[in-house]
Structure 1
Amino acid sequence: MRFGARLALAVTTLAVTATACGAPQDSGSRSRTTVDCAPYARYGEHPGTTVTVYAENRDREADLFEETWADFADCTGIHVSYEGDGEFEARIQVRVEGGNAPDVAFFPQPGLLERFARDGRLKPASAGVAALARQGWSADWNSYATVDGTLYGTPLVANVKSFVWYSPTFFRDKGLAVPRTWSELMALTEKVAASGVKPWCAGIESAEATGWPVTDWIEDVLLRRQGTRVYDQWVAHEIPFDDPRVIDAMDTVGSLLKNDRYANGGFGPARSMASISFQEAGTPVLSGDCAMHRQASFYAGLWPDGTEIGPDKDVYAFLLPGADPASRPVLGGGVFTAAFADRPEVRAFQEYLASADFANARMRKGPFVSANRGVDPANAATPVDRLSIQLLQDPRTQFRFDGSDLMPASVGAGTFWKGAVDWIGGASTRQVAHSIERSWPGR
């Protein structure tokens, strides 16, 4: 499921204070002479205004966002007040209903954005934002923030979920090759297990969102085994959640994640992943206690400090293979900006976030992926970010958005997540799939 979702367990509130370029600066702020305001002239000047932002990103990820828009804030005079909350999905509804909606929210799930749009809470995108959306993203990407023909937001972040992280040194020392097909991946898994190392490590604990790493696995395998058409039908509930083809995908994942011989390297039996946070789940790859960890591109920012990423470094990643070497199915996700307020300073901030300038600037600060057409892969902070952008820009890539993020929130962020935890804990595939199917709204 998520982009850099739960990067810590505590809620952190962060704020950027910026004043008009010619106005007195707060302590620690930069003077106008240190900022070139020409690139921001298009956004106008809004001295003395404030835009509040609410999102799930905290800690270093929040810092990087704030550093990126600092010049914009200095030059426009907008005070951008940012709050990051690890329980964003649960608390945004409470805030909105309590009359405390932020001006702008960063939604990690299109389904959640859609809920507020249908309730009449979100403001339609301005003409300027809509123009940038058409320029920067494909129709598919823009459709994720479009409800009943109206655009409400734009993609902020993209991530490629179909990666398997590994240690190039471990592979070299064990005589292992990166698999090009699913059958080669299964053969690799067995070879590692036969050597005495558990091939896979995983962690699915994520506070209120516990379970989402398993749903990502199921979606990825369904996409590979059944193709985009069946995947789309399943997400749209044109076929039932417990369709035999979905059961097959779940059982395939179960043959890896519910198998004590194959998981959970570095932690214990397979069931141990239910109590392991997703943030720490890949660390046994570094110690050689686990060979592979399937996780999204954003995991580049979660490795311990000092970990180097690259084909000859501490860790690297390969695309989870499909049926044959030419198959390039990619599961991904993203974060979308949308506004609960319609003021000039809010529109200006949204337009900046929708620009390729913002995306390229953010990439230069640290790990970050964008599907914006104007993004230059050369600006990527890591080789895996660069690979992700190249995949997203490659017309041969069969990209599909995270299914649980597109499903109704009560399913995608509810019964599917919970069912995944029950399944890892020992519940049968059919029992879990049938239960999720019965929970589908309007069934």
Structure 2
Amino acid sequence: MQRTIGSGRSVLAVGAAAAALALVAGCSNSSSGGGSKGNASASPLTGDCAQFQAYAGHSGTTVTMFASILSPESDSLEKSWADFSKCTGIKISYEGSNDFESQLPVRVNGGNAPDLAIIPQPGLLAQMVKTGKVVKPPQQTVDNENKWAPIWKSYGTVNGTFYAAPMSANMKSLVWYSPKQFKANGWTVPTTWADLMKLSDTIAKAGKNKPWCGGIGSGTATGWPATDWLEEVVLGKYGGDVYDKWISHQIKFSDPQIIDAMNVVQNWMHNPAYVNGGIGDVKSIASTTFQDAGAPILKGNCSMLQQASFYEAQWPKGTKIGPDGDIWAFKLPSVDPSVTTPVEGGGEFVAAFSDRPEVQAVQNYLSTSAWATSRIKVAPGWVSANQGVDPSTYTDPVDQLSAKYLTDPSATFRFDASDLMPAAVGAGAEWKEFTAWFAQNQSVQKTAANIDAAWPQ
């Protein structure tokens, strides 16, 4: 399965990576550049609705949307287009599923595709394009891409053709912790991997709680958080070049560098002395959902959780998040200090399976700075790489922390590796085998060999 990775990504200079995520342009408070065919004769919208005039003319229609985003994240997603729907009369019927990655191919191949799908894996997008059912975006969506750096457009491109506009960006290289717990015990936030492991040993030996908690449960996507742990270590120990070659299978899972990285994860998140505080043993990581994994921190049963910026939405309502709050986060240190600020990021892309005018209207709107701004205002933990978003829109401290690293010109930034690998691997064998690694104590060597065997020829 071919897609825009490999050499196109390996030549990505650090400056370009930062530009891909720069949030430096002025705010777009209108829906200019929206548009859709069939709206020329639409009745004028007035008042606050006037900003959606470009999308008018399709009142009474419904657009279906399918994604992996669940409540509470999906609550803010639906709020973000509430005004658009009210003013245009286009109902967006949203469905989120833990089984998204397995169900989307079934629906598409069975003739029951959604109008729009929010796809977080470029590898899965390539698989869907291969079915011939993905519809190329309208020209207006393509034009709206001028608010994104070219590298992001490449992630939504398959075999040289652009199919899916980027929707969001997220910072994965974070560790969540309790500032109050750290202060009470005299612990300082580690800035090196050696210090992070030394702190883990200190907490484990004290015997009051476990240093780490974790969960990789996610329906049919169970296993994905563990792939992030490995990706963080590969990037943070071997740098971008090895990471890129691993994505394209020039370097295999069973090759020495990746086996070494898996052993680092084995000594970290597969370590019975370190995990799984307040939940159970190592095996419990496989049966604990990623949404529930951080809860023991608030109870004092564990001290740290490695998860992405979007995890902010999982903390209970009323949790104070910030440097002096109940919960805060720090940048996961690089395993090898010579790798400059390794940052792993992810994102989502909107693909269409219909070219009906109302579908294109929604597709166009979701590609604008105006929509991105509306989502940011109602969704703490959600970041866009759309350069038309005013940086001052970010008032949430986690979003500001994420933007700091995602726009760092010295950072070694790479997109989530499993999301870029062929779907049969990144959203299939790797999830399955990593689950067995934790649930069944499967060896590192067997896990790697089984994933390599699943790589498409």
The one-letter amino acid paired with 1:275 is S
2:184 maps to which residue?
173
> Does the CA-based 8 Å contact 1:370-1:389 persist in structure 2?
no
Structure 1 alignment gaps of length 5 or more: 1-19, 24-31
1:91–1:414 CA distance, 2 compared to 1 (3 A): same
Residues 287-296 or 222-231, more deviating: 287-296
Q: How far 1:416 moved relative to its partner?
A: 0.6
Is the 2:116–2:350 contact (alpha carbons within 8 Å) kept by the matching residues of 1?
yes
Q: In the alignment, residue 401 of structure 1 is paired with which amino acid? A: F
Contact 2:238 2:339 in 1 (8 A): no
| Partner Cα separation in structure 2 for residue 205 and residue 144 of structure 1 | 26
1:377–1:390 Cα contact (<8 Å) kept = no
Distance 1:374 1:324 in 2: 34
Structure 2: distance between partners of 1:36 and 1:155:
27
Deviation at 1:325, TM superposition (A): 9.0
Write the distance in 1 (CA, Å) between the matches of 2:229 and 2:116: 31
Equivalent residues in 2 for 1:186-197, closer than 5 Å: 186-196=197-207, 197=209
Aligned to 1:297: 309
Deviation at 1:84, TM superposition (A): 2.1
CA distance in 1, matches of 2:184, 2:274: 19
Counterparts of 1:203 and 1:346 in 2: how far apart (Å)? 36
- Look up the equivalent residue of 2:446 and give its one-letter code: Q
The residue that corresponds to 1:286 in the other structure is 298
Alignment equivalent of 2:90, drawn from 59, 62, 78: 78
Q: Give the equivalent residue in structure 2 for 1:15.
A: none
How far did 1:255 drift?
A: 0.2
Residue identity opposite 1:314 in structure 2: D
Matched-pair contact (CA < 8 Å) for 2:124–2:427: no
How many angstroms does 1:359 deviate by? Answer: 0.9
Pairwise CA distance, 1:383: 0.9
**Letter of the structure 2 residue corresponding to residue 398 of structure 1:** T
- The amino acid that maps onto 2:367 is A
Identify the residue that residue 211 of structure 1 maps to in structure 2.
223
C-alpha displacement at 1:302, in angstroms?
0.4
Matched residue, 1:350: 363
Q: Distance in 1 between matches of 2:250 and 2:68?
A: 31
Q: Report the CA distance between 1:49 and its aligned residue.
A: 2.8
Q: CA deviation at 1:106?
A: 0.8
Instruction: Give per-residue Cα distances to partners, 1:333-362, cap 9 Å, x unaligned.
Output: 111101011122222211110111111111
Match of 2:449 in 1: 434
Alignment-derived partner of residue 164 in structure 2: 153
Match of residue 26 from structure 2:
none
The match for 1:13 is none
Output aligned runs, 1:36-185, within 5 Å.
Answer: 36-133=48-145, 135-185=146-196
Do the aligned partners of 2:339 and 2:412 also contact (CA within 8 Å) in 1?
no
How much does 1:392 deviate?
Answer: 2.1
1:223-302 aligned within 5 A: 223-302=235-314
Residues 294-325 of structure 1 deviation map (CA, whole Å, 9 limit, x = unaligned) = 00111100012211110000000011011339
Distance 2:164 2:349 in 1: 6
RMSD (CA atoms): 2.1
Aligned counterparts, 1:19-30, within 5 A: none
State yes or no: 1:324 paired with 2:337. yes
Structure-2 separation of matches of 1:127 and 1:235: 31
SS of residue in 2 equivalent to 1:207 = coil
TM-score by length of 1: 0.89
Q: Is the counterpart of residue 364 in structure 1 residue 363 in structure 2?
A: no
Query: Which residue identity does 2:451 align to in structure 1?
Result: I
**Which amino acid in 1 is paired with 2:211?**
P
Given candidates 406, 411, 423, the residue that maps to 1:409 is: 423
Q: Note if 1:334 corresponds to 2:343.
A: no
Structure with higher RCO (Cα < 8 A, 6+ apart): 2
Deviations 1:20-60 (A, max 9, x none): 9xx9xxxxxxxx77x51232223343233322211222333
1:391 matched to which residue of 2? 405
Partner letter of residue 227 of structure 1? Answer: G
Q: Distance in 1 between matches of 2:108 and 2:342?
A: 37
Q: Structure 1, residues 152-185: CA drift from partner, whole Å, max 9, x if none?
A: 0111122111100000011111111111111221
| Structure 2 unaligned residues grouped into runs of 5+ | 1-38
1:219 deviates by 0.6
Query: Structure 1, residues 368-418: CA drift from partner, whole Å, max 9, x if none?
Result: 211212223432353112211232233322221111111111111111111
Maintained 8 Å contact 2:236/2:339: no
**How far did residue 213 of structure 1 move?**
1.1
Residue 261 of structure 2 aligns to a residue whose secondary structure is helix
- 8 Å Cα contact 1:111/1:408 also seen in 2: yes
Q: Deviations over 1:91-139 (max 9, x none)?
A: 1122222222111111121111111112211111222111212x22222
SS in 2 for 1:179: coil
Contact conserved, 1:180 with 1:325, CA < 8 A, in 2?
no
Conservation of the 8 A alpha-carbon contact between 2:322 and 2:397: yes
Q: How big is the shift at 1:270? A: 2.0
Higher mean C-alpha deviation, range 365-374 or range 254-263: 365-374
1:60–1:199 distance in 2 versus 1, CA, 3 Å: closer
Which secondary structure state, in structure 1, belongs to the residue aligned with residue 283 of structure 2?
helix
CA distance in 2, matches of 1:168, 1:347: 46
Distance (Å, rounded) in 2 between the aligned partners of 1:146 and 1:400: 17
**Aligned match of 2:210:** 198
Q: Give the SS at the match of 1:37.
A: helix
